[in-house]
Amino acid sequence: MHSTDSIVVINAGSSSIKFSLYDGAALELAMRGKIENLYAGATRFVAQDAAGAVIDEHRWSGGAIDHAAGMRFLIDFAQSHLAGRRVVAVGHRIVHGGVDYSGPQLLDAGVLAQLDTLVPLAPLHLPHNLAPVRSMFAMAPQVPQVGCFDTAFHTGQPAAAQAFALPARITDLGIRRYGFHGLSYEYIAGTLPQADPHLANAKVVAAHLGNGASMCAMRGGRSVASTMGFTAVDGLPMGTRCGALDPGVVLYLIEELGMDVAAVQKLLYQESGLLGVSGLSSDMRTLEQSADPRAQAAIALMVYRIGRELGSLAAALGGLDVLVFSGGIGENSTALRAAVCRDAAWLGVQLDAAANDRSGDGVRRVSTAGSRVAVWVVPANEELMIARHTLDILEQQ
Ligand code: ADP
């Protein structure tokens, strides 16, 4: 890896494509950008340098832009902004790796065909993750591509943590708990011991709280249990997803309310969570600024569910040494952190109010010196995790 060599990371969601460019073996962030609102009218692109200064912007008027057109635009943009760099590999965030992919994987036609068979497990996300891989193969076939899976970090969980209490003929079909947000948790697992070497073998519960939200129990840098299960709708209430739900509710919706599969899916994925409970917004900032009691009820329910899951994950670990907050809400909402820690006092959590309120954007400890459980904020950085994996795979070739 020469200093002029770079790695591109692509994170493609259902309506957006994010990219980041990392330079040299030190993987220094050089620029990042995103195309948002694909398929909708107001598709827009913005790119920033490492310091956050905008280096380019674009808005599409008229016709909707799809993933392929978005990728063509990004590749053109990258080519005109490489400034002497050589892209040596592209790393992709891929939501599902099934039971077979327990780590990053060099992508080729065979792997892609195998990943296609997993689409029914993640129909809302996986096709969008794979589309840019195909675009890259078509436009730059000589550049190695690496898939990094959100499920991979959890594949080593104990069997009981992965199992549903269903008959074997069902679980044999791959119907089990996979867990997601694995790249975020793997990054946190690697970051904590760097911040404090005493934490290398600690019992850690990390909460990745963004639009999607989950929690993960980790020991010695490995995943032990997680709140997301077969799909990313399980566990905590999220921006628009309901989180854990009695499966009897789904049967009732179908039998008594006459809802079909599409209507149930829309309700559980897009109309529930913070949005559904508040009736106002899926956005935590908006809810925190609202005086509407429904906004406060939505936040209170999220805090309550985080507390319940924290107890459950601490039980899976047989104790708790560290609580980590990450994701847009976890990193930025001092009020949410305070409420969660207040409810977790019984576990030995003591927040340092001043440290919690102090604005900052780096890795930081926010518990009192005497707190039995250390509380940390670790800003999410799935992209850097993908870049590291991509570099590792490249060096193994
Ligand atoms: P995604 O899962 O899409 O990557 P993010 O991790 O960016 O999402 O998290 C988005 C969430 O973070 C939104 O609910 C947003 O309101 C919340 N958030 C961002 N900044 C703040 C803040 N200062 N205070 C409270 N919530 C915030």
pLDDT tens digits along 105-137: 999 999 999 999 999 998 888 999 999 999 899
255's CB contacts (< 8 A; 6+ apart) are none
Catalytic residue among 66, 116, 150, 234: 150
Phi (first) and psi of residue 261, to 5 degrees: -60, -45
- pLDDT, residue 40, reads 79
Residue 5, judged by CB atoms within 10 A of its CB (0-12, 13-18, 19+), counts as middle
pLDDT score, position 302: 98
Query: 389 C-alpha to center of ligand 1: Å?
Result: 26
Residues in contact with ligand 1 (CB, 6 Å cut-off): 210-212, 239, 283-285, 288, 327-329, 332-333
As given in the structure block, the two tokens for residue 231 are 């799909």
Q: Distance (Å, rounded) from C-alpha 260 to C-alpha 258?
A: 7
**Which residues are CB-neighbours of 373 under 8 A, at least 6 positions away?**
320, 321, 322, 323, 344, 347, 348, 349, 350, 367
Among 14, 125, 211, 356, say which to mutate for ligand 1: greatest number of ligand atoms within 8 Å of CB: 211
- Which runs of E-coded beta strand occur in 63-157? 86-94, 105-106, 145-149
Confidence (pLDDT) at 83:
87
pLDDT at 124: 83
How far does CA 12 lie from the centroid of its chain?
Answer: 12
Residue 16 CA to ligand 1 centre (angstroms):
16
Counting from 1 in the atom list of ligand 1, the atom nearest the Cα of 212 is 2
C-alpha 222/C-alpha 219 separation (Å) is: 5
CA–chain centroid gap for 84, Å, is: 32
Active site residue 150: yes
Residue 162 reports pLDDT greater than 90? yes
Testing ligand 1's pocket by substitution, the residue of 280, 284, 296, 361 carrying the most ligand atoms inside 8 A of its CB is 284
| Mean predicted confidence (pLDDT) in 276-289 | 97
366 φ/ψ angles, rounded to the nearest 5 degrees: -125, 15
Dist. CA 215–CA 225, nearest whole Å: 9
Reported confidence tier of residue 79, pLDDT bands at 50, 70, 90 = confident
Take residue 142 and report the two structure tokens written for it.
Answer: 């000589």
Distance 211 CA to ligand 1 centre (A): 7
Residue closest by Cα to atom 24 of ligand 1: 333
Assess contact for 21 and 390: CB atoms under 8 A.
Answer: no
pLDDT above 90: residue 6: yes
pLDDT band, very low/low/confident/very high, at 358 (cuts 50, 70, 90): confident
Helix (H, G, I), strand (E, B) or coil at 246: coil
